[in-house]
Structure 1
C-alpha cells in the first residue's frame, strides 16, 4: 500500500511539474506573440503616416527614400528586427523609386547598397556630380565611396582623402580616421581644426577613436582636450587610451586611476599602458608584472617591455616577476646562436665525406670557412635585435610584432645603425677580402653583361609574381613589404630622402652581399659543390626576408648574386646588381 501511495505521489508531482512548465512555456510564447503583434501594428501605423505624407503624385524624393530605408530596417533577419511582410514592402518600395528618375536621394540610396567591382568607378562619377547636392547627401555620398576603398590596398591615399572630406562635411564617424590620415601626412593644424569643429561623438567607440587619433598629434594638449571633452559629455573612453593621454600630459596619478578603472579587464593594450604608467611612476615591481614573455602571441611587445625596464632599472632582473622572462629570453638567445648549425653542421660533415673520397671542393674565397659563415648568420639575425635593444627597446613591438607600424624615422635609424654595426664587426675579414681583390671595381667592367642578365632574370621573376598575384587577387602585404614602405616614406625631406636611398640602395646591399655571398656562400662552398652551396645560401637569403609571397623573387636574386660571385671571383658585381635592384624598388615605391 505504501509503495502505491509513493508512486502516486511521484506521478502527481511529475504531472504538476509538467503542467507548470507547459503553462510557463505557453505564457512565454504568448508574451513573445504580444510583442510581435505590437511591433507589426506600430510598423503598419508608421507606414500609414508615410503613405499620407507621400500622396500619389508627390515628388518629395527624400521622404520616399526615407520610407524605403525604414522598411529596410525590418527586412533583414540578421539585423535583429524582422517582420515577414517587410520583404514584399521593401521590394515594392524599391520599385517605386524608379519613378523618381535620377533624384540625388535615390542615387545615393542605391549607391550605398552597391558593392560590385565597378562600385568605385560609378561612385567617383556620382561624387563628381554632387557639388550642387544638399550637404547631407554630399556627406553620405563621400562616406559611402570611402568605404568602397576600404580593402583596396593600392588606393589607400584616395580612401584617406575621402575620409577627410566626409569628416569635414560633418560625418562624425569618420573624424577619427580622418585625423589619423592627416597626422600621417603632417597636416597637424588641419587635424586640430577638424577635431575642434566636430560635433560630439555619438557613442563610446567613436569617441575613443577620436582620442586615439589625437594622441598621435605632436601637441599633447590636443589629445588631453579631446579626452576631457568626451568624458565631460558622458562618453566612456577605453581605459588604456585614457591612461596614455594622461601619461603624455605628465599626470601619472590620473593615468593610474584610468588603469584601475578597468576593473580586472585585461588585454594587450591595457597591459602596455599599465607598464608605461608603472615605469613612469617608478613602480618597477608593477612594471615587471606587466611583462609576460610566455605570451607567445605578443612576444615582441613583452621583449620590448623587458628591455625598457632593465634599461631604466638594471636591478629589476632580480625581481621574481622577471625570472621567467629572463629564462625565456636566454633560451631564445641560445636558440639563435645555435640555429645556423642546422645548415652548417650537415655541410661540414658532407665536406668530410667528400675529402675522404678524395673530392675536396675548391674554396670560393681562401680565407673564408664555416666559422665565418656561422658568425655572419648570427650577426644577420642578432645584431638588429641588440641594436634595437640599446637605442630603442620600446621599439621591439612596433618593429617585430605583426600588424604594427614603427615610426619611419626611427625605423630608418635602426636599419642604418644595424647594418653599419654589422659591417664594423667584420672589418678584419672585410679588409682581408679587399686585399684579395674581392671588392675591386675593375670586375664591373668585364662583368657588365652578367650583371644585366642577373638583374633582368630577377626582375622577370618579380614581374611574373606581381602579375600572378594581381590575377588571383592574393593578399601579398607582408611585414617585410610594410617595413620597406616605411623606410621609403621616411624620406619626407630631400635630405632624409637621400639618406633613405643611401641606406636602402647602398648600405643594405653591401652588408647582405658580404654576409650571404661572401661569408655564408664562401664558407659553404669550401665543403660542398658550388651548385648546392649557391642554392642553400639563396634559400637562406630568401627565408630571412620573411616575405613568402615573393619568396621565389628573393631566391632567384640570391642565385643570380651567387652566380656573379662565382663567375667573376669578386663581390663587386653582386653588390652592383643588388644596389641597382634596390634603387629601382625605392624609385617605384616613391612614385
Structure 2
C-alpha cells in the first residue's frame, strides 16, 4: 500500500500560519452564499413566486454555481491549466458510480429519520413547514420538471464541483486527507444555513468527500448527491403518504417505520463497503 495520496501541483499561496487554502475556501463558500442571496432577492423583486418558484430556483442555480466554479478556478494558480483535473473530474469505474448512485438513494431514509429525531431539540417553525410543503407540492408537469432539474441536477453538480471538486482538493493538497474531509464537510454543512441540518449535512458531506477521495473523481459523489436529492421528488406526498417522510403542516414529529430505517441503513453500510472494494486497485 502506498502512503497517503496528495493532489499534485503546488499548494495555494499560504496565508498567516499556513492558513491560506482554508481562508480562500471559506471566502469561496461566502461568495457562493452571497451570490445566492443577492440573486434570490433580485428574482423576488423581478418575478413573483419567490425563490421556491421552480423557474426562479432553476435560474438562480444556473447562474450562481457556474460563476462560483469559475471564481474557484481563477483563485487556483493552476485551476484552468489542469482542467478537468482542476475540478477533480477524473475517470472512474462504472461499478463505483453505480454503487455511489445507490448509496445516495439509500441514504435518504436514515437521514430523514435523523432529521425527525433532531426536531425534538430544534423543532420546525411554521414558516419552515410551509416552505417545505410548498417545495414538495406538485407544480404541474412543467414546473415539476424545472424543480427536479434544479434540485436533482443543477444543485448536485454545482455543490459537488465547489465543495469536493475545488475546496476538498485545495485543502487536501495542503493539509492532507482527514483535515480536508472534515473541513470541507463542515463548510458544506454550514452553507445550508440550517442549525438542525448541520449534523445530517456534515455526515452527507463526509460520505461524498470519502467517495471522491476513494475514486479520485467527483463524478461518483455527484451521482450519489443527485440520487439523494431526486428521491423525495420521485415519491412526493401525492404518491407516498408515509409518516416521518411526508411533510406535515402541523408541528407533530412523526417517525419512519423502524424496519425501513434499519434496512436502508444496512444498505448504506453494504454500499460503502462495495465502493471501498471497487476502488481498491486504484490505491
Say if 2:65 is the partner of 1:423. Answer: yes
Say if 2:104 is the partner of 1:455. Answer: yes
Say if 2:85 is the partner of 1:438. Answer: no
Structure 2 Cα separation of the partners of residues 505 and 478 of structure 1: 26
Aligned-pair distance for 1:567?
0.6
Q: Would you say the 8 A contact 2:6–2:176 is kept in 1?
A: no
Structure 2 Cα separation of the partners of residues 454 and 508 of structure 1: 18
Counterpart for residue 46 of structure 1: none
Deviations 1:369-391 (A, max 9, x none): 43763453132211112213444
Aligned-pair distance for 1:482?
4.8
In the alignment, structure 2 segments of 5+ residues that lack a partner are 13-20, 74-78, 239-283
Larger radius of gyration: 1
TM-score by length of 2: 0.63
Task: Report SS of the residue matched to 1:527.
Answer: helix
1:94-493, aligned counterparts within 5 Å? 363-364=6-7, 366=9, 369=12, 370=21, 373-393=25-45, 407=49, 411-425=53-67, 426-427=69-70, 429=73, 434-436=83-85, 438-439=88-89, 442-443=91-92, 445-448=94-97, 450-451=99-100, 454-455=103-104, 458-459=107-108, 461-466=110-115, 468=117, 475-477=123-125, 482-489=130-137, 491-493=138-140
Counterpart for residue 264 of structure 2: none
Cα 1:528–1:453 shift into 2, 3 Å: farther
Q: Would you say the 8 A contact 1:387–1:417 is kept in 2?
A: no
Cα 1:533–1:505 shift into 2, 3 Å: same
Q: Would you say the 8 A contact 1:411–1:486 is kept in 2?
A: no
1:3-18, aligned counterparts within 5 Å? none
Aligned-pair distance for 1:410?
6.0
Aligned-pair distance for 1:459?
3.3
Deviations 1:465-498 (A, max 9, x none): 156358x597335866654543333x52111111
In the alignment, structure 1 segments of 5+ residues that lack a partner are 1-360, 396-405
Cα 1:547–1:506 shift into 2, 3 Å: same
Structure 2 Cα separation of the partners of residues 377 and 474 of structure 1: 25
Cα 1:547–1:434 shift into 2, 3 Å: same
Aligned-pair distance for 1:445?
0.2
Higher relative contact order (CA 8 A, sep 6+): 2
RMSD: 3.6
Q: Would you say the 8 A contact 2:208–2:224 is kept in 1?
A: yes
TM-score by length of 1: 0.32
Structure ranking higher in helix proportion: 1
- Range 565-574 or range 446-455, more displaced: 446-455
Structure 2 Cα separation of the partners of residues 365 and 423 of structure 1: 25
Deviations 1:334-365 (A, max 9, x none): xxxxxxxxxxxxxxxxxxxxxxxxxxx86447
1:514-529, aligned counterparts within 5 Å? 514-529=161-176
